[in-house]
Amino acid sequence: MTKIVKVGVIGAGQMGAGIAQVCASSGYDVLLNDQTAERVHAGIKSVAMNFDRRIKSGKATEEQKVAALGKIKSAPDLAAFKDCDLVIEAATEKEAVKKQILENVAAHLKPDCIIGTNTSSLSITRLAASTGRPEKFMGIHFMNPVPMMELVELIRGIATNEAVFQQVNEFVGSLGKTIAVSEDFPAFIVNRILLPMINEAIYTLYEGVGSVEAIDKAMKLGAHHPMGPLELADFIGLDTCLSIMQVLHEGLSDSKYRPCPLLVKYVEAGWLGRKVKRGFYDYSGETPVPTR
């Protein structure tokens, strides 16, 4: 197996930029791609801002910031990944979109390049079939926010080569992350447990059991959660929460995973959480204000 030196990341949003940051911070050369140059620039800018916060809190130095940013380059198109040893897809959580990206990028990669997907819920085996090299494909699911969260879920598809799995395992370890291995079931481990809890919190709001503020306060002070479930849903993105619940509901055919109608309504309204400044909280002011 070729040593992993150069890493390509497809998607420069919150997850993709975070993956680029931890890879560059660990000494890997990184190529970052998105639909437009403006999105890539915004992703690199967010990496710089993340470093500024870490520098301010004493968790990083200016030298580390400069070194990491020097490792991240813009990839104008998927053909730019031709020399990468590992490419990680971190696009939106929509299977059709991911499949198209994976099919397109696979045509440009060298034969021994490994492909990973950062999907948080979708079938690794189905996505692998889009690449034409399923033996070199697997799930590499980083947690959000990537630079802060210690865990990465590794998921093999039915055809994933054992040597590929071991190499990715070593790569993730080199990033300073801890690995949890999951079987290829809908939503894997973390989201199989976390998203139904969030969905139940939304049902609790929908049925009038408690207000947004009461529900979040109850879980933060009553269960020592660092963030309330509705606040967390806004942070994840309500569209992503809905997508994962739909994957669970359809993939496991169990009514307990039915997405709450209120979650569906918020997504239909475009109230997707922090990224649009409105979800279960309104983020347009200095302090978030509950919207219900």
Kindly report the CATH number assigned to the domain that includes residue 211.
Answer: 1.10.1040.10
Residues 158 and 267 in one domain: no
144 is catalytic: no
Mean pLDDT by 10 residues, the chain (292 residues): 91 96 98 96 96 93 96 96 98 95 97 97 97 97 95 98 97 98 97 98 98 98 97 96 96 96 98 97 96 92
Mark residue 13 as left, alpha or beta (left: phi above 0; alpha: psi -120 to 50; beta: remaining): beta
Residues 153 and 57 in one domain: yes
Residue 208's CB is within 10 A of a number of other CB atoms, namely 8
Cα 281 versus chain centre, distance = 22
Helix (H) or strand (E) holding 45: helix 37-56
Residues 149 and 10 in one domain: yes
Instruction: Please identify which of the residues 89, 121, 130, 153 carries the catalytic annotation.
Output: 153
Q: Residues 271, 215, 283, 58: is their CA dihedral positive or negative?
A: negative
Instruction: Please identify which of the residues 118, 120, 182, 243 carries the catalytic annotation.
Output: 120
Residues 165 and 218 in one domain: no
Rounded to whole angstroms, the Cα distance separating 16 from 42 reads 11
Tell me the residue range of the domain where 64 lies.
6-182
Specify if 276 maps to a domain: yes
Residues 178 and 271 in one domain: no
Kindly report the CATH number assigned to the domain that includes residue 39.
Answer: 3.40.50.720
Domain boundary residue, one of 149, 182, 215: 182
Residues 156 and 206 in one domain: no
Specify if 290 maps to a domain: no
Specify if 289 maps to a domain: no
73 close to 31: Cβ distance less than 8 angstroms: yes
Residues 66 and 202 in one domain: no
153 is catalytic: yes
Q: Tell me, what amino acid is at 9? A: V
Specify if 56 maps to a domain: yes
Instruction: Please identify which of the residues 46, 118, 191, 199 carries the catalytic annotation.
Output: 191
Backbone angles phi, psi at 122, to 5 degrees: -80, 155
Specify if 84 maps to a domain: yes
- Residue 110: closest CA among 91, 83, 134, 133: 83
- Which residues of 78-118 form beta strands (DSSP E)? 86-89, 114-117
Mark residue 221 as left, alpha or beta (left: phi above 0; alpha: psi -120 to 50; beta: remaining): alpha
State the pLDDT at residue 2: 74
Residues 29 and 123 in one domain: yes
170 is catalytic: no
- Residue 165: closest CA among 148, 153, 151: 153
Residues 236 and 93 in one domain: no
176 close to 162: Cβ distance less than 8 angstroms: no
Residues 35 and 57 in one domain: yes
Domain boundary residue, one of 157, 182, 207: 182
The residues, ordered by sequence, that sit 6+ positions from 146 with a Cβ below 8 Å of its Cβ are 15, 18, 19, 21, 22
Specify if 1 maps to a domain: no
Q: Any idea what the Cα angle at residue 103 is, between residues 97 and 107, rounded to 5°? A: 145
Q: Any idea what the Cα angle at residue 149 is, between residues 99 and 157, rounded to 5°? A: 35
108 is catalytic: no
DSSP secondary-structure letter at 222?
H
Specify if 291 maps to a domain: no
Residues 52 and 148 in one domain: yes
The pTM score is: 0.92
State the pLDDT at residue 245: 97
Domain count, the chain: 2
DSSP secondary-structure letter at 257?
G
Residues 61 and 173 in one domain: yes
Instruction: Please identify which of the residues 46, 93, 130, 141 carries the catalytic annotation.
Output: 141
Specify if 292 maps to a domain: no
Rounded to whole angstroms, the Cα distance separating 77 from 12 reads 13
